[in-house]
């Protein structure tokens, strides 16, 4: 008899814990949480300007309002090169609806230019040094590896981050959601 | 489908719940979903990111003085990771590095760069000094660049270790790690 009471008590406590967690989880995150979870984490992105392949500085702010896919990559990163033809296709197909890819290459301009020509790159290729990797850390790339991709919605918020290659299904998924 | 309200902490009026767009659909039970609801970051990361090691742990460098004119450099490469032979660079200070002989690695065909050679598991390289310097403290700078099989590449990194060259006839010195493991609950 006492055992049943004990089990009932545990169950009630357990349910209260879950309910409490669900309730408090919907409040504002406590200040010591991972800062990338807070609104405003897109700020480093909108403040960024990098040179394109002609050497002209391009501010990312100019693409605010689009569904922006910022892809950090390098020619020395084979998985990065492998996913880019899909991006080229998606840019061609959905560019008219407001999808915009921007590549940030952690690389030498000559190598970027060569590869861009090879794959018929149809979106901006900006060139950053290793500092660009440091910047990607502020956007959530904890490990500092490539490829790293962030996606913003039309309101300018980061809604998706991915470290590692983007599968076609994932790309289609968020394109459908956001466009 | 689980709709999660993302909270800004600043908007007083109710916002329509935003659907999190994740890399992989959750294959979990209700309890875990309830738990996930309490965590609710604004944007989710693909499952792979949590498993990836930091650069210096994926390719952990160490070195030791082998004799009065030789340093032995060692990379301990985690499972599922590999280093490029082409990107290896070593420097010894003070002193002059002699000829370095690298072991044969695995050959891969890279679409852009052609034939590349990679190393897995462990790489041991002897770094000879031009002149013997028994008892001298020598700093080894090791530059390397590697990738993980799951499909990411790390930027090049330089790891440093200072070792003491043994006296002539003395035994091999202790192995010194560049990035000693820090034990922590948090990465």
- Average confidence (pLDDT) over A18-37: 50
Residue B23: pLDDT above 80?
Answer: no
B129 CB-near residues (< 8 Å, 6+ apart): B69, B70, B71, B92, B95, B96, B97, B98, B138, B165
- Of A26-30, A149-153, B9-13, B20-24, highest mean pLDDT: A149-153
Helix, strand, coil in percent for chain B, rounding step 5 = 10, 40, 50
A56 Cβ under 8 Å from any chain B Cβ? no
Looking at the complex, report in whole angstroms how far the Cα of residue B163 sits from the nearest Cα belonging to chain A.
Answer: 28
Q: Give A-chain residues touching B54 at CB under 8 angstroms.
A: 143-144
Determine what percent of chain B is predicted with pLDDT higher than 90: 63
Name the residue facing A77 among B7, B41, B153 (closest C-beta).
B153
Interface list for A 134-173 with B (CB within 8 A): 140, 142-147, 151, 157-165, 170, 173
Domain membership of residue B100 (yes or no) is yes
pLDDT mean across residues, chain B: 80
Q: State how far Cα B167 lies from the chain centre.
A: 33
**Residue B114 placed within a domain:** yes
Residue B183 lies in a domain: no
Asked if the structure places residue B34 within a domain, the reply is no
What are the structural domain ranges in chain A?
35-178
Query: Considering only A160-164, B7-11, B94-98, B106-110, which range has the smallest mean pLDDT?
Result: B7-11
User: Counting one residue from A and one from B, how many pairs have CB atoms under 8 Å apart?
Assistant: 130
Q: pLDDT digit string (tens) for B131-148? A: 999 999 999 999 999 999
pLDDT of res. B44: 52
Share of chain A above pLDDT 70, in %: 85
* Cβ–Cβ under 8 Å, residues B93 and B129: no
| pLDDT reported for residue A16 | 76
Report pLDDT for A55.
95
User: Under CATH, what is the fold of the domain A35-178?
Assistant: Glutaredoxin (3.40.30)
Strands (E), chain A: 49-51, 57-59, 67-73, 99-106, 125-128, 148-152, 158-163
Q: What is the mean pLDDT of residues A94-118?
A: 96
pTM confidence score: 0.75
User: Strands across the sheet with B157-164, in order?
Assistant: B89-93, B137-144, B157-164
User: Please, what is the average pLDDT of chain A?
Assistant: 87
Lowest mean pLDDT among A40-49, A138-147, B39-48: B39-48
Could you say which residues from 74 to 103 on chain A have a Cβ atom under 8 Å away from some Cβ of chain B? 74-81
Percent pLDDT > 90 in chain A is 73
CATH code of the domain in which B59 resides:
2.60.40.1250
Report CA Rg, chain A.
21
List the one residue out of A33, A74, A173 whose CA is nearest residue B113.
A74
Specify whether the CB–CB gap between B131 and B69 falls below 8 A. Answer: yes
Least confident of A6-20, A76-90, B48-62: A6-20
| Cα–Cα distance, B93 to B63 (Å, whole number) | 14
A41 DSSP assignment: T
pLDDT for B184 beyond 90: no
Q: d(Cα A41, Cα A65) in Å, to the nearest integer? A: 16
Give the contacts of A147 (CB within 8 A, at least 6 positions apart): A71, A72, A73, A77, A79, A80, A83, A163, A164, A165, A166, B152
- Show the domain range for B134: 55-176
The predicted-structure confidence for B40-98, as pLDDT tens digits, reads as follows: 444 554 445 678 999 999 999 999 999 999 999 999 999 999 999 999 999 999 999 99
pLDDT, residue B152, reads 96
What confidence score (pLDDT) does residue B1 get?
A: 46
The total domain count for chain B is 1
Would you place residue A96 in the very low, low, confident or very high pLDDT band (cuts 50, 70, 90)?
Answer: very high
User: Is the pLDDT assigned to residue A37 strictly greater than 50?
Assistant: no
Cβ contact B45–A158 (<8 Å): no
Name the strands in the sheet holding A158-163, side by side, starting at the edge strand that comes first in the sequence: A125-128, A99-106, A67-73, A148-152, A158-163
The confidence score (pLDDT) of residue B156 equals 95
Residue B74 within a domain: yes
Answer whether residue B119 shows pLDDT above 90: yes
Using alpha carbons, select from B11, B93, B50 the residue that is nearest to residue A34.
Answer: B50
Residue B77 lies in a domain: yes
Asked, for residue B35, whether it belongs to a domain, the answer is no
Residue B160 lies in a domain: yes
């Amino acid at each position: 008899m006492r055992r049943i009471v004990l089990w009932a008590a545990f169950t009630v406590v357990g349910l209260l814990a879950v309910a409490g967690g669900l309730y408090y989880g919907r409040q504002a995150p406590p200040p010591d949480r991972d800062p990338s979870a807070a609104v405003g984490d897109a700020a480093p992105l909108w403040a960024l300007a990098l040179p394109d392949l002609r050497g002209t500085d391009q501010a990312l702010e100019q693409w605010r309002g689009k569904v922006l896919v910022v892809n950090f990559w390098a020619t020395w990163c084979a998985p990065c090169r492998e996913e880019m033809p899909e991006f080229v296709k998606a840019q061609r197909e959905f560019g008219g609806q407001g999808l915009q890819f921007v590549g940030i290459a952690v690389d030498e301009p000559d190598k970027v230019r060569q590869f861009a020509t090879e794959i018929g790159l149809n979106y901006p290729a900006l060139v950053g040094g290793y500092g660009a990797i440091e910047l990607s850390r502020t956007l959530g790339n904890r490990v500092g590896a490539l490829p790293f991709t962030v996606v913003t919605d039309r309101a300018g918020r980061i809604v998706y981050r991915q470290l590692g290659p983007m599968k076609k299904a994932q790309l289609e998924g968020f394109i459908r959601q956001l466009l | 489908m689980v709709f999660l309200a993302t909270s800004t902490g600043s908007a007083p009026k109710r916002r329509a719940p935003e659907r999190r767009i994740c890399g992989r659909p959750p294959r979990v039970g209700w309890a875990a979903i309830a738990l996930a609801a309490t965590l609710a970051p604004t944007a989710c990361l693909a499952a792979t990111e949590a498993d990836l090691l930091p650069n210096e742990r994926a390719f952990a460098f160490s070195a030791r003085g082998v004799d009065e004119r030789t340093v032995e450099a060692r990379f301990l490469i985690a499972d599922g990771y590999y280093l490029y032979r082409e990107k290896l660079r070593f420097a010894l200070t003070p002193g002059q590095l002699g000829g370095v002989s690298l072991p044969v690695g695995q050959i891969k065909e890279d679409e852009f760069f052609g034939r590349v050679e990679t190393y897995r598991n462990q790489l041991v390289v002897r770094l000879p000094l031009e002149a013997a310097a028994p008892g001298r403290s020598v700093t080894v700078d090791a530059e390397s660049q590697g990738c993980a099989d799951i499909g990411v590449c790390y930027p090049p990194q330089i790891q440093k270790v200072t070792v003491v060259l043994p006296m002539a006839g003395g035994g091999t010195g202790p192995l010194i790690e560049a990035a000693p493991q820090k034990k922590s609950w948090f990465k």
